[in-house]
Every structure is written in C-alpha cells, then in structure tokens.
Amino acid sequence: MYNREATEIIKKINSTFRVLLVTGPRQTGKTTLLKNLKPENMGYVTLDDQILRKQAQDDPKLFLEEHPAPLFIDEAQYAPGLFSYIKIKVDNSKDKGQYWLTGSQQFNLMKNASESLAGRVGIINLNSFTYSEIVKNEKKEIFNPDDLKKTPKIDVNDLFKVIFMGGMPEFYDNPEIDRNLYFQNYIDTYIDRDVRQLIEIGKLEEFKKFMVSIASRIGEQLNYSDIAKDCGVSVPTIISWVSVLVSSGIVYLLEPYMSSQLKRMTHIPKIYFMDTGLAAYLAGWENERDLQLSSVSGHYLENFVVCEIIKSYNARGLKPNLSYYRDKEKHEIDLVLYKNNKLYPFEIKKTASPNSSMISNFKYLEKSKKEIATGGIICLYDNLMKLDGKNYIIPISSVINVTK
C-alpha cells in the first residue's frame, strides 16, 4: 500500500465541508485512495456502471433518495444534474462529509461544483504518484526555497527509471504489467471517455497524432502553428485540443512571468506533461537508458522537477504561483516561484558540474521591481551548497524528496 500525500488534506476537507470533490486524470488512484479512507457507513456507487449512470442522469432526485448520504459517487461528471440536488440535500443538514465525488473531467466538475456547491465543497486535485510516494517517504514536505534542506542523493540512473516509467499507481501495484499495453489502453480510454465528452473530434488517429506531437515538445514553448502543420488540422483546432489536455490534467501550461515593468516579454506558455511516463511513451522512448542519454533528457528532467512541485502543492490543496522568464532577446530562466511578494528564480540543469554562469540571467528579473529572493541551480550535484550570497546549488533530492 502506497501512502498518498493528499491523505491529510482530504481528512481536513471532510471535517470542514459537506462535500468533498477529488479531481484528476484517469487512473491516478482517486477511487483507491478514497475507498481506503471512507467511513464504514458511507455507501459507494460508480457512474461507470451504465445502469446507475442512466438513473442518475434521468432522475437525479430519485437517485439520491435511493442512495442516501453519506455517499461516495465515483465518476460524477457523467451526471451533472446531480449537483443541484446534492446542494438541496446538504443544505438540509449541517453534517460534514455528506458526499464524496470524484471525476476525471476537471473543467466540467469544477464548473458544476462552483455553480451549484459554492461554499459547500472542498476540492483537491490528485495526480499520479510523486517521487516521494514511490519511494515511500511518508514525511515529505513541499519544496520551500526559504528553508532548503540537505537530503540523500538520488542516483541519476534511478531517477531516469522513474522519469521513464512515470507515476501511474498501476505500475507500482503491479510490477509485471506491460508498459506499452497499459499506455495504449490508457490513451484509447482517455479519448473515448473524456475527450469525446468535451469536444467533437473526427478521426481518433488525428487526436492521437496530436498527443504525440505535443509529447515531443515537452519543456518547450507552445507553438500552435507548428503542431497544426504536424497534425494536418487548423490552429483553432489545436488550441481547442490543448485546452482539453489541460482541463483533464494531462498537461500543464507554464505561463511566462509578466510584469508591468517588463515590457519586452514573451506571451507564449511552455508545455509539460503531468506524467513523464505518458510523455515518454507517446514520444516513442522504449527504455530509460536511451531517454537518459538523448538530447532531450534535459527537457524531461525539467518537466519532471516542475511537475513534482505542482503535484506536491496539489496534494495539499495548494496552487504554486509558478512561471518562467523569457524576453525578446531570449534571456530565459527555467522557473520562477512567486510568493510573499518575492521572486525565487531557478535553473534546472542535467549536470553534476554547475557554475555561476548558469544563473547569469537572474539579473534581468531586477527590472520587475520585486525582491529577488533565494534561487539557484536545481541539478545532479551531490550536496546542497551556496553558489553565491543569495543562490544555491540544489540537488534534485532537495526539491522532490524533502523530509521533515
């Protein structure tokens, strides 16, 4: 059994709100986690069951009468009419944790929840396993640049095994599973059950080709025109398809840092996959060694680090304020964390020999008029150490496997 970082916030939400909503991509462990946490007296229904789904869609009021609270409704996005009737139910009782809902279509779920259950629902986004969950670090803390900590080194070969495999729970619960068959089925199920619910698509192969094109660009600026040419569809279609991947938690768009003091800035986001294993499969990588030694290995490492930070924040009900910096002269900073009115700049490098020239672009943030706080180079060096008066050499482990 793998403990999840989200366990504590789920318990807190359940004792605070009348409804708990857990969203996230398919097969990231939402149902398994909640089944292990739910009270004994809580009922369970899944709207993957076609008969139950039709009942919930046709007569949501009767459905809730026949399945009284406390109730766990899995894949709740299939019956959006339930939300307004859940509101009526919970307004008649002050009990906390009356309904638990899950679903993989985040946009529709969030929209229905915000419209019908405002003030009554606590929401958590669950992603695939973090590195700390895989190695069973039960004392994981989120990355805090104001409190950098020394942690045991992670071997680069072991790290790329995780990057290549990704964090889908099924791989760790069932080590014998065939990776290629799993991801092939995952993509087919995702397109059939989620994508078709959100947009009209023609040939399924066109959308699969689009996903492959996106996966080949992780860590890069998102060029809609180039992707449209690859896929043989229009730019508006690509924009629509990207929004689907974002809304279903498959990809994350890292927006550029913007400031009124910085006029010559890019407006183009960078694209990351929330699960590097899925990206590696789509891009055609057949083993971790070839990926590790490839020219794009640095992009995968960057993708992995950024999304590990996002996952850990999500697991605590938080959203990190992340961006990247790039100006018209192509001066770039991989990652900028904004908090407490301060900017924390970071370079993410696949190197064990960092040097001060790698942070030379940090100075361009000074024009923003914000305080530039602790930053540094996140890399494969052995130990946490000072690089200069404000910046550090930061081992990967001090970001993705911090221990209390």
> ∠176-178-181 over CA atoms, to 5°?
155
In this prediction, residue 116 carries a pLDDT of 82
Average of per-residue pLDDT across 118-133: 94
Summarised one tens digit per residue, pLDDT across range 57-116 is: 999 999 999 999 999 999 998 999 999 999 999 999 999 999 999 988 665 666 777 778
pLDDT at 203 over 70: no
**What domains sit in the chain, N to C, each tagged with a CATH number?**
7-125 (3.40.50.300), 131-400 (no CATH)
Is there a cis peptide before residue 152, judged by omega within 30 degrees of 0? Answer: no
Q: How confident is the model at residue 264 (pLDDT cuts 50, 70, 90)?
A: low
How far CA 183 is from CA of 8, 189, 278, 294, 385, in Å, comes to 30, 10, 7, 22, 40
Cβ neighbourhood burial of 383 (10 Å; 0-12, 13-18, 19+): exposed
Quick one: angle between helices 7-16 and 30-37, nearest 10?
A: 60
Share of the chain above pLDDT 90, in %: 82
> Averaging pLDDT over each range in 178-182, 261-265, 367-371, which range is the top one?
178-182
Backbone angles phi, psi at 394, to 5 degrees: -120, 110
Q: Give the model's pLDDT for residue 263.
A: 56
pTM, to two decimals: 0.94
What is the pLDDT, as a whole number, of residue 106? Answer: 67
User: What is the distance between the terminal CA atoms of the chain, rounded to a whole angstrom?
Assistant: 21
Average pLDDT in the 318-325 region? 95
Least confident of 109-113, 140-144, 254-258, 392-396: 109-113
Query: Which tokens go with 31?
Result: 């149902």
pLDDT at 396: 97
What is the model's pLDDT at position 261? 53
Q: Rounded to whole angstroms, what are the CA distances from 55 to 40, 60, 118?
A: 25, 7, 25
pLDDT band at 376 (very low <50, low <70, confident <90, very high): very high
Tell me, what's the pLDDT at 392? Answer: 98
Dump pLDDT digits (tens) for 14-28. 999 999 999 999 999
Tell me what the mean pLDDT of segment 270-277 comes to.
98
From CA 364, how far away is CA 330, in angstroms rounded? 11
Q: Which residues pair with 43 in a beta bridge?
A: 71
Q: Does 401 have pLDDT greater than 60?
A: yes
Mean pLDDT, rounded, of the chain: 93
Share of the chain above pLDDT 70, in %: 95
Look at residue 262 in the predicted model and tell me its pLDDT.
57
Q: Identify the band that residue 194 occupies on the pLDDT scale cut at 50, 70 and 90.
A: confident
